[in-house]
Structure 1
Amino acid sequence: MDSALSQVLKSPTIVLTVGTPEVHEEIYFVHESVLTRSSHYFKHLLNSKFAENSKKEVTLSTVVDTPEACELFLEFAYNGRFEPPTTSNALLCYGKAYLFAEKIQATAFKHYIYERAKAEAEQKFQELDFLFKTIRPTDALSQRRVELLETWSSLIEMIYDGTYDSKDELLKAEPLPDPSVSFKGHMQNMKSWLDTTNLDTFRRLLSQISAKYPLVIACSPQILRLVRCIPEFAADILNHQLNSAIDEIQKAQDIAAGNVSTTARKRSMFHTHNGVVWSISDEY
């Protein structure tokens, strides 16, 4: 039986041109089987009767088709992973690669980018949150804050302009609250209405981090402007904040319920020790 590598090497190569001559253009020679197994876009394109299929040449030249993003995709397509970009602004590279993955419908690549971007963003914002509380605006370290928030602002504009989600359809499908439902039932309903698992993952990352570090975000006039100008971004932040509030309420209710149960057990044990037997109805 042929190995997977053997199958790849036996497949024909495609001439893949990415970018524009005016900005930056690169030509790659890629095995057809690698492209078709990693991207629904290439799978349909190369299995169709389009001119690109007969010529074995594909050109990608829109604004999201950058050689940098394509090279991350090709590294992932061949190896199942990629090395972090050799740049000081990896987050911006991940955002561009994510939009490229969105275009070529590379699901596994998109998920991998999201995981890498999430780890990078959480680390940078944790560090920035600590520095925010300990440095003055005139300190040299504050430049890191400026650079990160400028990158974050660019990512918000880029991702919210180039991705889509099904939030409107999900909300329209939800029934109106029923007055007869218990408070706990309403809480569960709210959790389902605010659920973001089916939304675009990179949008969720941007809004979740922004909701988690409001004091840091408030230092950026650009991001505050985007909160006003991009309703979806503002709504996503609110969803995360409401989810956090619901979690806190549920946690407080669980703690209160645990305290009541503990008090009842202690009362029962104390009176049993003194020769008094309490019934179940007396305890509760």
Structure 2
Amino acid sequence: MQNRIVKSPTVALKVGSLEFQAGEIGEQFETYHVHESVLIRSSHYFKQVLNSKFQEGIKREISLSSPVDTPKACELFLEFAYYGKCLPLQTASNPLLLYGEAYLFAEKIQATEFKDYIYQRARAEAEQSFRDLDFLFKTVKPTDLLSQARVELLETWASLIEMIYEGTYDNKDEILKAATPSDAETLFKDHLNNMKSWLEPSKIDLFRGLLSQISAQYPLVIACSPRIQKLIRCTPDFAADMFNHQLRPAVEEIEQAQIFAVPHLYSVTRKKVRLVPE
């Protein structure tokens, strides 16, 4: 494998964006020379470009300059592409935001394995951060230091919500199709199944699911942020996803009650559906 990588030709990957300073437009790019075979095996987007007759494939130079194309995100991708894992630098001031940037970059270049890896890292980081903050609020008297930690985490969380909900899409067609209308004539079992299908988490983008699930899990912490409260009012998808996570336990509780009350209407075993895939 290493020999094939070394023998593979390299591609100049220019990543960055245009910046406006003092009335002038300046280019702020970072250039990476990456083995072609590494790009092709790690990203469907790069595979399509490099195997095509586009200028980028012929010149062996690819420029990425959209808002999601940041050098930091690209560097995480390249580290993962070569070594199968990556971590933000110790100097990174905000790992969660960096994971958000990397997730959007992975979405653009269609790097499925990298995207899933970043999601798992972001989930672990977010769950630990909120768990620690929730524990401190329940066991320690409020202090300026604690208040600052809360403000910083919630500001990061709000930025992530804005970033991810602007840059990703859920499967709205499937969600709307699943949310079939029910009326007074609909059997309760069918109505319940309609609701369960509507709440199916696989129809929600992974990172959206992470943000909405944790927000629903820690409502008192989230309530401390006016910025997030505004996002709940102004971002319908986020509000709906949060509602889904709050509603799901109630639906499962009702279903369990009905299974015991009218067992012949239900199968003997029914698999539980996780809120968000691990």
Query: TM-score of the superposition, structure 2-length normalised?
Result: 0.85
Q: Could you tell me which amino acid in structure 2 is paired with residue 47 of structure 1? A: N
Matched length: 255
Q: CA deviation at 1:254?
A: 6.2
Q: CA deviation at 1:104?
A: 0.7
SS at match of 1:93: helix
Partner of residue 218, structure 1: 223
Partner of residue 147, structure 1: 152
Instruction: Tell me: CA distance 1:20–1:126, structure 2 relative to 1, closer, same or farther (3 Å).
Output: same
- Per-residue CA deviation, residues 161-219 of structure 1 (Å, 9 max, x unaligned), is 01111124431354322655543443232111111213211011000100111000000
SS at match of 1:88: coil
SS at match of 1:122: helix
Q: CA deviation at 1:84?
A: 3.7
Query: Is the counterpart of residue 71 in structure 1 residue 90 in structure 2?
Result: no
Q: CA deviation at 1:257?
A: 8.9
Q: Is residue 136–residue 142 contact of structure 1 (8 Å, CA) maintained in 2?
A: no
Q: Could you tell me which amino acid in structure 1 is paired with residue 153 of structure 2? A: L
Give the distance between the partners of 2:236 and 2:39, measured in 1 at CA: 36
State which of 2, 5, 8 in structure 1 corresponds to 2:5: 8
Q: Is residue 40–residue 106 contact of structure 1 (8 Å, CA) maintained in 2?
A: yes
Q: Is residue 99–residue 163 contact of structure 1 (8 Å, CA) maintained in 2?
A: yes
Give the distance between the partners of 2:165 and 2:245, measured in 1 at CA: 17
1:1-284, aligned counterparts within 5 Å?
Answer: 4-20=1-17, 22=19, 24-86=28-90, 87-172=92-177, 174-177=179-182, 179-251=184-256
Partner of residue 269, structure 1: none
SS at match of 2:251: helix
Give the distance between the partners of 2:28 and 2:220, measured in 1 at CA: 38
CA-based RMSD of the aligned residues comes to 2.2
SS at match of 1:14: strand
Q: CA deviation at 1:24?
A: 4.4
SS at match of 1:17: strand
Query: TM-score of the superposition, structure 1-length normalised?
Result: 0.83
Q: Could you tell me which amino acid in structure 2 is paired with residue 35 of structure 1? A: L
Give the distance between the partners of 1:97 and 1:248, measured in 2 at CA: 37
For structure 1, the 5+ residue unaligned runs are 259-284
Give the distance between the partners of 1:130 and 1:248, measured in 2 at CA: 27
Q: Is residue 5–residue 35 contact of structure 2 (8 Å, CA) maintained in 1?
A: yes
Instruction: Tell me: CA distance 1:120–1:15, structure 2 relative to 1, closer, same or farther (3 Å).
Output: same
Q: Is residue 16–residue 69 contact of structure 2 (8 Å, CA) maintained in 1?
A: yes
Taking every aligned residue pair, what percent have the same amino acid on both sides? Answer: 65
Give the distance between the partners of 1:102 and 1:226, measured in 2 at CA: 23
Q: Could you tell me which amino acid in structure 2 is paired with residue 70 of structure 1? A: C
Partner of residue 266, structure 2: none
Bigger Rg, which one? 1
Give the distance between the partners of 1:168 and 1:110, measured in 2 at CA: 23
For structure 2, the 5+ residue unaligned runs are 20-26, 264-278
Instruction: Tell me: CA distance 1:147–1:8, structure 2 relative to 1, closer, same or farther (3 Å).
Output: same
- Per-residue CA deviation, residues 56-94 of structure 1 (Å, 9 max, x unaligned), is 111111211111000000011111111244223110000
- Per-residue CA deviation, residues 25-68 of structure 1 (Å, 9 max, x unaligned), is 31111011111111111011111111111111111112111110
Q: Could you tell me which amino acid in structure 2 is paired with residue 19 of structure 1? A: G
Give the distance between the partners of 1:218 and 1:73, measured in 2 at CA: 34
